[in-house]
Amino acid sequence: MSGELRHRMRGCLLGGAAGDALGAPVEFDSLSKILARFGPEGIRRFAPAFGCVGSITDDTQMTLFTAEGLILAARDGVFPERSGTVRIVHRAYLRWLRTQGERSRHPTFGRTSEGWLSTVEALQHRRAPGNTCLEALRARRMGRLEHPLNTSKGCGGVMRIAPVGLALSAADPFRLGCELAALTHGHPTGYLTAGFLALVIRDLAMGATLEAAVHEALEELVRWPSHEECEHAVRAALEQARAGSPTAEAVESLGAGWVAEEALAIALYCALLAPDLVGGLRLAVNHGGDSDSTGAMTGNLLGVKLGMSAIPDDWLATLELRAEIERIADELYDACASPSPESP
């Protein structure tokens, strides 16, 4: 299992980055504009974004800093204890904030030099970061489930959460995913979607089918207050997936992906119907909406399900930060991949 799990963990993070890079050139574009620019099948391979082919966005940046925070928590002997882990991941997000040229009023800002990601020159660039994440991380305090900073349910909380599912020594990935998303997104839908995705990723990493993973996550979701919006979106994705062949129109019926439950629904729908990783990513980005986030989350799901070999070699060759992403995946495996005795 160890070699296969490492393969799945690399696939999850690289697949997410590939979906992010595929969607980056068309984020904010309508479907009609995408088709006019790239032809009747839409965008099918990496195109220039931020001045380079294969560029990642803030989605992958923040995902990497989530992983680095978990790694450091494990190395410090704090992980999987949740409160200490949340504080260390928050400090990782403050390091990401600094790479964006921003300052925080939080007392630990400026005392967060641990970790190596913030020294990577290619990460010292703004890639359309979400305003909610920026504003929340500038604050003097951390957002908490019981004491939120805002009422946002944007997808910036869920799109960065896949590493939580890969950290198998976490006894409760659903709750940890919620707590990390609540650092920046205070609406229940904004953090429950993150807990849901983390648990699905966990089950896929352990070899479950996607359908089984989704149904287990639904069982956990409905135990939480204010779960109805997220539950409705997931069930809509399942219904659309049962309806038959994938289409851009079906994707758009689930929303645009700017808010968390829509991004989750689109990612689940695309992953459920994907013939392979490439086909799933193409479906996930060819719609009018937050194409890089829906592409990234679909890539996380399909990457952990199918492994790194599902990503074409020519895509990997031009994917920005490919080596750094693999290094983070391997460090996460080494630090956090031993399942907790309480884990399924």
Task: Report whether 19 contacts 285 (CB < 8 A).
Answer: yes
Tokens of 330: 């391997």
pLDDT score for 225: 98
Interaxial angle between packed helices 173-181 and 210-221, expressed in degrees from 0 to 180 and rounded to the nearest 10: 70
* Unique residue bearing structure tokens 């009747």: 40
pLDDT in tens, 262-283: 999 999 999 999 999 999 999 9
Domain ranges of the chain: 2-144+153-336
Alpha helices in the chain (DSSP H): 2-23, 31-38, 58-75, 82-99, 131-138, 162-166, 173-181, 188-205, 210-221, 228-243, 248-253, 260-273, 277-285, 291-306, 313-318, 322-336
> What's the mean per-residue pLDDT of the chain?
95
Q: What is the pLDDT of residue 2?
A: 75
Percent of the chain topping pLDDT 90: 93
Please list, residue by residue across 296-319, b when 16 or more beta carbons sit within 10 angstroms of its beta carbon and e when fewer do. Answer: bbbbbbbbbbbbbebbeeebbeeb
H/E element, 47 = none
Looking at the domain 2-144+153-336, which fold is it? ADP-ribosylglycohydrolase fold (1.10.4080)
- Render 149-190 in DSSP notation, one character per residue: S----BTTTTTT-HHHHH-TT-S-HHHHHHHHHTTT--SHHH
- The SS3 call for residue 193 is helix
- pTM of the full predicted structure? 0.97
Bridge partner list, 49: 52
pLDDT under 50: residue ranges of the chain:
341-344
Residue 344 confidence (pLDDT): 42
**Unique residue bearing structure tokens 């049962």:** 242
